[in-house]
Amino acid sequence: MEDELTFSDIYGGRLALLRRYYSPSCREFCLSCPRLSLRSLTAVTCSVWLAAYGLFTLFEQNKAFPAWPRVDSLNSGICRRPSGNLTAGVWLSLQNSMILSAAIFITLIGLLGYLHFVKIDQETLLIIDSLGIQMTSSYASGKESTTFIEMGKVKDVIINEAIYMSAKPRLDCLIEVYRSCQEILAHGKATPTSP
Amino acid sequence: MVLKAFFPTCCTSADSGLLVGRWVPEQNSAVVLAVVHFPFIPIQVKELLAQVQQASRVGVAVLGTWCHRRQEPEESLGHFLEGLGAIFSHEPWLQLCRERGSKLWSCKVTHRQVPTSPDAPGEDQVMLIFYDQRKVLLSQLHPPTALPDHQAGDATASTRGLAAVFDTVARSEALFRSDRFDEGLVRLSHWQSEGVEASIIVELAKQASGPVCLLFAYLLSLISAASACRVFKLWPLSFICSKLSTCEQLRHRLEQLTFIFSTQKAENASQLMRKANMLVSVLLDVALGLTLLSWLHGKDRIGQLADALVPVADWVAEELQHLLQWLMGAPAGLKMNRALDQVLGRFFLYHIHLWISYIHLMSPFIERILWHMGLSACLGLTVSLSILSDIIALLTFHIYCFYVYGARLYCLKICGLSSLWRLFRGKKWNVLRQRVDSCSYDLDQLFIGTLLFTILVFLLPTTALYYLVFTLLRLLVVTVQGLIHLLVDLTNSLPLYALGLRLCRPYRLSAGVKFQVLEHEAGRPLRLLMQINPLPYNRVVHTYRLPSCGCHPKHSWGSLCRKLFFGELIYPWRQRGEKQD
C-alpha cells in the first residue's frame, strides 16, 4: 500500500514523500525534490552570456584601434603591409570567437556537471528488517548512487542535522520517516530469532 | 525472524527438483546454489554433496524442494515432495513453489523440532532474494573481509552478513563444474548448466605462460646479476647512477618485471591484481614509447632537435650573461658594493664562458648521442621522460653550480653574522650545552668582532641579491623537473587494469550490494533482487595504486622557507639509495 504526503524543504520548495508499505518487515520512503526550474536556468545562462559579451566588447575596444588600418591615408602615419592587416584581423576574430566559444563550452559543461553531480531528483530509503537499510540518491542526469548498511552494523536510527541529507527536508518530514524506522526496528527486535 | 532465501536467477525457470545449498544459521538465511532434477537416486545425491563438501569446505546440503508446476496443481507431486523431506532431513525444510509463466511464488518453511506457532502469518516467514550467480561468483568485495583459512573446515561463521553469501558461492566452484551435457548420475541446474564457460585464448595463454615466465625470469635474473656486479659499486659510477633519475626508473621497471614474471603463482586476489596492473602499465608504457620512437626517427626530427639544441644552450648562456651584467650595474635601482659585485660578476661570467666552450666542443657529437638516447624510448615512455629530465639537469648544470656558490657564500655570511651578532651583545654559543651563554670578551676580540660584523652587514645586500637571483633560477629548473617526475610517477602508479575492469566489468569490483523490491502482492512472500554495487573510481585508484619510485619532495613548505632563508642547500628529491624505509 502506498500513500503520499507533501512537505517543504528548508528553502521553501515543495517536497513529496511517498511511503510504500510492502510488508511488516519492509518499507520504502521516496522523497522527490523540486525539479530544475526554467527561470533559474535562463537566468544563469543569460548572465554567463552577458559576461562573455561584455568581455568581447572590452577586447574589441582595446584592440580595435591600433590593429585596424586607418581608412583615410591622409592622416595616418601608420602604413602597414596588407598581409599584416589580414593576420591581425584574423587574430582578432579568432580571439572573439574564442571568448564566445569558451562561454558556450563553460555553460554546457557547467550544466552537465550540475545535473550529473549536484541536482538530486529523488532520494529513497528502503528498510528491510534483518537485512539492512539502503539509501539511494538519483540525480537529474539519471545517475544513481546507492549505499547499503547491513542490519548488524545498525544500532539505532537518529535524526542528525538536515544538512547531511541532500534533499534538505524540514523536521516534520524527518519525524515521519524516523517514526516508521523505529517501528520496523522494534518489530525486528521483538520477533524472537529461531533456534 | 524472517528466513531469507537467496535464490539464483538462473534457476527460476528450472524444472522441479531438490534445492541444494548452504544454511547459515546465524543470519537465518539459506543460500541456494543449485537445483537437482528428477529422476535421481538419493544415495548418489548424498555422495555428490559429500564430494563437493570435501573439495570446497562448504557445508552443502539439501535444503528443501522446488516445484515449478503448470496451471493445475498436481496433488501427487505435492505429496511426493513432502515425502522427500523425510529422506533428506534438514532443519528447517524449505518448500518453494512457482506457477509456470506467472510471477506468483509461494514458500513454506517447516521446522521439525520447534512446532510452528499458529499465529505466525504465512507470508512473513520467508523473504526471497534473487541473485545473479555468475556475477556474485566473479565479484570481489571491497574491503575484503578476513576469510578464515581453508584448513579450518566449515568455520565461516566469522564472515558477517552478505559476505557469507559471496563466500559460499565463490567457494562452491566444484558444484558448478558439471553441466547438462555431462553423462553424470545427477542432473543439476546452475549458472553453468548450459555449458561450462571457457575461452580458447585464455586456456592457451595459461598453457603458454609457464614456459614464457621461466624464460623471462631467466633473462631478468641475468640482467640483475649484470647490474649488481662490482663495477657499478665503484665510486664514480655509483655516484652518477644514484643521481640520475633514468637509472632509478630502469631499476624500478626491472623490479616490476621480475615480480610479474616470477614463477610463483599469485597467492590471493590482490597479488593477482597487482601483477595484472603492472603488466598492463608496462605494456602501455612500451607502446607509447614505440610511438614516440617512430615519431622521432621519422622525417629527420632527431637532426632538427640536435640542430636546435646548441642554439638554445647558447641563448640560455647569453641571457645569463645579460642578467649578470644587470646585477653588476645597479639592479632595480639598488646600490651594490662595487668591488664585491665586480668580483662575483666576473667569476660567474667566466664560468659561463667555460660552459659555452664545452657545449661547442660537444656539438658535433650531439646528434649521435641524441639518436642513441632516442632508441631508449623502446624501453618505455617513462624512460624517455626520465632521460629528458636528466638532459635538462645536465644542460642547466651551470645554474646549479651558481646556486651552490651563491648559497654557500650566503650561508657563510649568515653564520658569521649570527655569531658576530652574539658577540656584539656579549653572548656566545655553547657547543657543549647547545645553548647561548653569556661570555666576557677581551677588548681586542670585541674590536675585531665589531669590525668584521660591520663589514659583513654592509656586504649583505650584494650577496643576498646574487643568492636570490640564482635561487629563483634553480627553483624554476626544479619545478620543470618536478613536473616531468610527476608525470612519470603517474604513469608508474596508475592501476590501468583495475580501471579497465571497473569500466568493462563493473561487477568484478564491488563495494557492496543494492536491493530492489520486485512486484509484490499481499499474501505472497516479499521478493527482492540483489545487485552488485560497483566500486567508485576514486576508491579503485586508491585501493589498487602501484608503489611508485617515491621521489616526492620531503620538505614541508615551512621547512623549505626556513632553509631558503638560512641559505642551506635544498635537495628536492632524495634518491632511493639515501632513503630510509
Q: Would the CB atoms of B28 and A194 count as touching at under 8 Å? A: yes
Do B289 and B306 lie in one domain? The reply is no
Domain stops at, among B245, B277, B293: B293
Provide φ and ψ at B162, rounded to 5°. Answer: -75, -15
In a domain, B204, yes or no: yes
- B136 with B274, same domain: the answer is no
Check CB contact under 8 Å for A152 and B512. Answer: no
Among B530, B246, B266, which Cα is nearest to B388's? B246
What is the H or E stretch that residue A139 is in?
strand A132-139
Rounded to two decimals, the ipTM of the complex is 0.74
- Helix or strand (DSSP H, E) at A149: strand A144-150
Mean pLDDT in residue range B411-420: 91
Q: Which residues pair with B526 in a beta bridge?
A: B127
Same domain? B318 vs B243: no
Cα distance between residue B383 and residue B83, in whole Å = 73
Name the more confident of B42 and B86: B42
Cβ-based neighbour number of residue B403 at 10 Å: 23
Distances (CA, A) of B262 to A154, B223, B282, B544: 45, 14, 15, 20
**Per-residue pLDDT band at B414 (split at 50, 70, 90):** very high
Q: Which H or E run includes A190?
A: helix A171-190
Among A122-126, B24-28, B46-50, B568-572, the least confident range: B568-572
Span B487-501, pLDDT tens digits: 999 998 999 999 999
With respect to residue B510, please indicate whether it lies within any of the assigned structural domains: no
Half-sphere exposure of B149 (CA within 13 A, CB side): 2
Residues B30 and B113 in one domain: yes
Query: Does position B344 have pLDDT exceeding 90, yes or no?
Result: no
Mean pLDDT of chain B: 83
CA distances from B180 to A79, B31, B132 (A): 91, 22, 19
Domain shared by B73 and B179, yes or no: yes
Same domain, yes or no: B256 and B383: no
| CA contacts within 13 A on the Cβ side of B174 | 16
CA–CA dist B528, B131 (Å, integer): 9
In a 10 Å sphere around its CB, with 0-12 CB exposed, 13-18 middle and 19+ buried, how is residue B489 labelled? Answer: middle
Amino acid B44 reads Q
**B227 burial class (0-12, 13-18, 19+ CB within 10 angstroms)?**
middle
For residue B373, being part of any structural domain is answered with yes
pLDDT, one tens digit per residue, over B456-484 is 998 888 888 889 989 999 999 999 999 99
Contact yes or no for B514 and A192 at CB 8 A: no
The count of residues in chain A is 195
Q: How far is CA B111 from CA A39, B91, B272, in A?
A: 63, 6, 45
State whether B160 and B99 are in the same domain: yes
Do B163 and B221 lie in a common domain? Answer: no
**Region of poorest pLDDT, from A8-22, B108-122, B348-362, B439-453:** B108-122
pLDDT mean over A104-110:
90
Instruction: Tell me: do B42 and B122 sit in the same domain.
Output: yes
Residues 6+ apart with CB under 8 A from A73: A79
Q: B499 in a domain, yes or no? A: no
Query: Which residue in chain B is spatially nearest to A194 when comparing CA positions?
Result: B1
Measure B162 CA to nearest chain A CA, in Å. 8
| Total tally of structural domains belonging to chain B | 3
Domain membership of residue B285 (yes or no) is: yes
Query: What is the distance between the alpha carbons of residues A130 and B2, in angstroms, rounded to a whole number?
Result: 7
Residue of A nearest to B110 (CA): A194
Cell numbers 511488516 correspond to A24
The number of beta carbons lying within 10 Å of the beta carbon of residue B458 is 11
Res B247: pLDDT: 86
- Of B146, B166, B189, the residue that ends a domain is B189
Q: Which residues of A touch B513 (CB under 8 A)?
A: 148
Which 3 state secondary structure label does DSSP give A30?
strand
Residue A178: CB atoms within 10 Å: 14
Rounded to an integer, what distance in angstroms lies between the CA atom of residue A123 and that of residue A169? Answer: 11
DSSP SS3 for B105: strand
**Number of cross-chain residue pairs from A and B with Cβ atoms under 8 Å apart:** 66
Put simply, the answer to whether A23 touches B514 (Cβ < 8 Å) is no
Average pLDDT estimate for A66-78:
47
**Closest approach of chain B CAs to the CA of A59, in angstroms?**
32
Q: What is the pLDDT of residues B218-244, one digit of tens each?
A: 999 998 888 888 777 777 888 888 788
| Residues in chain A within 8 Å Cβ distance of B123 | 23
Same domain, B345 and B378: yes
User: Is the preceding peptide bond at B536 cis, omega within 30 degrees of 0?
Assistant: no
Q: Let me know if residue B517 belongs to a domain.
A: no
Contact (CB<8Å) B515/A128: yes
What's the rounded Cα separation, in Å, for the pair B562 and B553?
A: 15
Pick from A128, A147, A149, A154 the residue to mutate for testing the B interface (most B CBs within 10 Å): A128
In this structure, are B305 and B399 located in the same domain? yes
| Residues in CB range of B441: below 8 A, 6 or more apart | B423, B426, B449
What is the pLDDT at residue A67? 47
Ramachandran category for residue B299: left, alpha or beta (phi over 0 → left; psi -120 to 50 → alpha): left
Chain A positions contacting chain B at CB under 8 Å are 20, 22-26, 28, 126, 128-132, 134, 136, 146-148, 150-152, 188, 191-195
Q: Are B111 and A194 an interchain contact pair (Cβ–Cβ within 8 Å)?
A: yes
Examine the domain organization and report whether B80 and B129 are in the same domain: yes
Residue B390 lies in domain: 299-493+551-566
Q: Is B61 inside any structural domain?
A: yes
Domain boundary among B260, B293, B326: B293
Query: From the candidates A1, A21, A22, A23, which should be mutated to test the interface with B, based on the most B CB atoms within 10 A?
Result: A23
Strand partners, B13: none
Q: Are B261 and B280 in contact (CB under 8 A)?
A: no
Shortest Cα distance, chain B CAs vs residue A115, angstroms: 18
Asked, for residue B577, whether it belongs to a domain, the answer is: no
Q: Is the pLDDT of residue A25 over 60?
A: yes
The model's pLDDT over B394-410, given as tens digits with 9 standing for 90+, comes to 888 888 988 999 999 99
B252 with B343: CB under 8 angstroms?
A: no
Query: What's the pLDDT at B123?
Result: 43
Residue B175, pLDDT score: 83
Nearest to B162 by CA among A131, A34, A169, A193: A131
